[in-house]
């Protein structure tokens, strides 16, 4: 057993290096595939947001000029007059009954004319890629197949798109209601989840001793963060929509909005999302609080400060940038959530602005979902435009996070 080993090795460095290179390429390729996926995703959305559209009008808007004043320049009274002559008196009276014309803005009447009289209809739509690559072909097709149609290069996302309400006509539909719904809902979510989440984090980091109850709370929060969002939807349905219907419908506060006879309201939606993001806010806030140096707390206690004085004056201000960043990440998640809101019962079609927590609701993701699931192609383009609005909203929110963080951390 004491023989000296023969030090002889296979000279295999070349092949080892070769396989090293191969695998390096494989790893790089994975990365590139990931980037390609993102590119495809963004391209796909942009592709469907812009492009040529051939549309026909039932009544040419130019023919609606009144004494030579074009539609755009007419006053509200003139617009009403045009509308009255162009639709049946029954339909006009119904509009008056829905919302008196005196209460409608000029813009609303103007929209009504396009909605009821002009009735633009997209007869063919091309995505951006086609529009850029073969415009001649498209023009030819339109000339042949839709001789009466106008061809225009449209952006489905536009100021009008943000301003208009839902419509069954894709050309006239907009995201106003959904956007407002999202903002209302998220406001409720923030109001409920931020104080609760930060409070829980303070409790767990600064107050909780190491006993079974607090350990249970900690583990439980970690587990809740992994529960699928749709489960929160079911929970929200059972608790906020059904059990607490009196509260969430506003009936308890004497709020008798005939359009919301049940608990499927903004309040329910906001609270459901609050439950959903609470664990995320807590976990992020805990991390931010933990990052505050112990020496600060010692300095404060050493002066005879109480726990809350220490937390309020030293721990929280120093943890705030981290807490805010984490909270905004969580809120971004809430803004994009769809499934739980479908489950608690988002409205499929509302055309009035939400005006209280007890209004019926729809949100941007819900609107995207509904437009995506329509069989007609036109709605896909609307969905793409709405996705851009949603992504822009998320992006600006993240920008706010960065700004806030810089602002607060610049103090010292």
Structure tokens at 98: 């829905």
Supply the minimum distance, in Å, between the C-beta of residue 409 and other proteins: 10
Q: Are 268 and 248 in contact (CB under 8 A)?
A: yes
Pick out residues in 49-108 that bind other proteins (CB under 8 A).
Answer: none
Helix or strand (DSSP H, E) at 152: strand 150-155
Pick out residues in 289-308 that bind other proteins (CB under 8 A).
Answer: 293, 295-308
202 binds other proteins (CB under 8 A): yes
Supply the minimum distance, in Å, between the C-beta of residue 149 and other proteins: 24
Supply the minimum distance, in Å, between the C-beta of residue 397 and other proteins: 10
Give CA–CA dist 167/154, Å, rounded.
18
To the nearest 10°, report the CA torsion of 20, 21, 22, 28: 110
17 binds other proteins (CB under 8 A): yes
48 binds other proteins (CB under 8 A): yes
Q: Of these, 177, 318, 359, 362, which contacts other proteins (CB under 8 A)?
A: 318
383 binds other proteins (CB under 8 A): yes
Give CA–CA dist 56/54, Å, rounded.
7
Pick out residues in 343-362 that bind other proteins (CB under 8 A).
Answer: 343-345
Supply the minimum distance, in Å, between the C-beta of residue 299 and other proteins: 5
24 binds other proteins (CB under 8 A): yes
Give CA–CA dist 138/22, Å, rounded.
46
387 binds other proteins (CB under 8 A): yes
204 binds other proteins (CB under 8 A): yes
Q: Of these, 195, 256, 261, 349, which contacts other proteins (CB under 8 A)?
A: 195
Closer Cβ to other proteins, 19 or 355, answer by number: 19
Q: Of these, 132, 231, 247, 251, which contacts other proteins (CB under 8 A)?
A: 231
Quickly tell me which residue has 């959904």 as its tokens: 178
Residue 67, strand partner residues: none
Give CA–CA dist 270/191, Å, rounded.
9
Closer Cβ to other proteins, 230 or 251, answer by number: 230
Question: Residues touching other proteins: how many (CB under 8 A)?
Answer: 104
φ/ψ region of 57 (left if φ > 0, alpha if ψ in -120 to 50, else beta) reads: beta
Q: Of these, 59, 66, 132, 217, which contacts other proteins (CB under 8 A)?
A: 217
Q: Of these, 111, 115, 337, 378, which contacts other proteins (CB under 8 A)?
A: 337
29 binds other proteins (CB under 8 A): yes
Q: Are 170 and 379 in contact (CB under 8 A)?
A: yes
Helix or strand (DSSP H, E) at 155: strand 150-155
Give CA–CA dist 365/109, Å, rounded.
28
Exposure on the CB side of residue 54, measured as CA atoms within 13 A: 17
């Amino acid at each position: 057993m004491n023989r000296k080993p023969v030090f002889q090795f296979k000279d295999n460095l070349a092949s080892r290096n070769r396989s090293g290179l191969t695998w390096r390429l494989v790893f790089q390729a994975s990365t590139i595939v990931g980037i390609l996926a993102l590119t495809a995703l963004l391209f796909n959305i942009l592709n469907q947001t812009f492009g040529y559209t051939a549309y026909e009008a039932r009544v040419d808007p130019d023919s609606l000029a009144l004494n030579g004043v074009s539609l755009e320049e007419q006053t509200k009274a003139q617009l009403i007059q045009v509308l009255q002559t162009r639709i049946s008196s029954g339909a006009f009276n119904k509009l008056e009954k829905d919302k008196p014309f005196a209460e409608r803005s000029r813009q609303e009447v103007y929209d009504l004319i396009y909605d009821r009289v002009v009735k633009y209809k997209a007869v063919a739509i091309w995505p951006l890629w086609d529009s850029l690559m073969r415009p001649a072909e498209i023009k030819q097709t339109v000339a042949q197949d839709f001789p009466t149609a106008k061809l225009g290069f449209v952006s489905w996302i536009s100021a009008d798109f943000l301003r208009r309400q839902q419509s069954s006509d894709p050309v006239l539909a907009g995201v106003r209601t959904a956007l407002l719904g999202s903002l209302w809902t998220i406001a409720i979510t923030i109001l409920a989840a931020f104080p609760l989440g930060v409070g829980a984090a303070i409790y767990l980091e600064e107050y909780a001793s190491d006993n079974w109850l607090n350990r249970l709370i900690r583990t439980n929060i970690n587990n809740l963060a992994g529960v699928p969002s749709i489960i929160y939807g079911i929970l929200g349905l059972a608790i906020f929509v059904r059990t607490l219907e009196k509260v969430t419908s506003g009936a308890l506060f004497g709020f008798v909005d005939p359009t919301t006879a049940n608990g499927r309201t903004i309040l329910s939606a906001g609270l459901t999302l609050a439950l959903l993001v609470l664990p995320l806010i807590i976990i992020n806030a805990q991390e931010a609080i933990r990052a505050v140096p112990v020496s600060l707390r010692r300095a404060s206690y050493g002066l005879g400060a109480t726990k809350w004085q220490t937390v309020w004056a030293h721990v929280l201000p120093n943890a705030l940038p981290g807490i805010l960043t984490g909270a905004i990440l969580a809120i971004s998640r809430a803004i994009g959530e769809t499934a739980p809101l479908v489950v608690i019962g988002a409205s499929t079609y509302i055309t009035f602005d939400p005006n209280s927590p007890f209004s019926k609701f729809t949100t941007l993701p819900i609107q995207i979902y509904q437009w995506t699931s329509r069989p007609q192609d036109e709605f896909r383009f609307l969905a793409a435009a709405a996705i851009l609005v949603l992504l822009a909203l998320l992006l600006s929110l993240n920008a706010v996070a960065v700004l806030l963080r810089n602002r607060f951390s610049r103090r010292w």
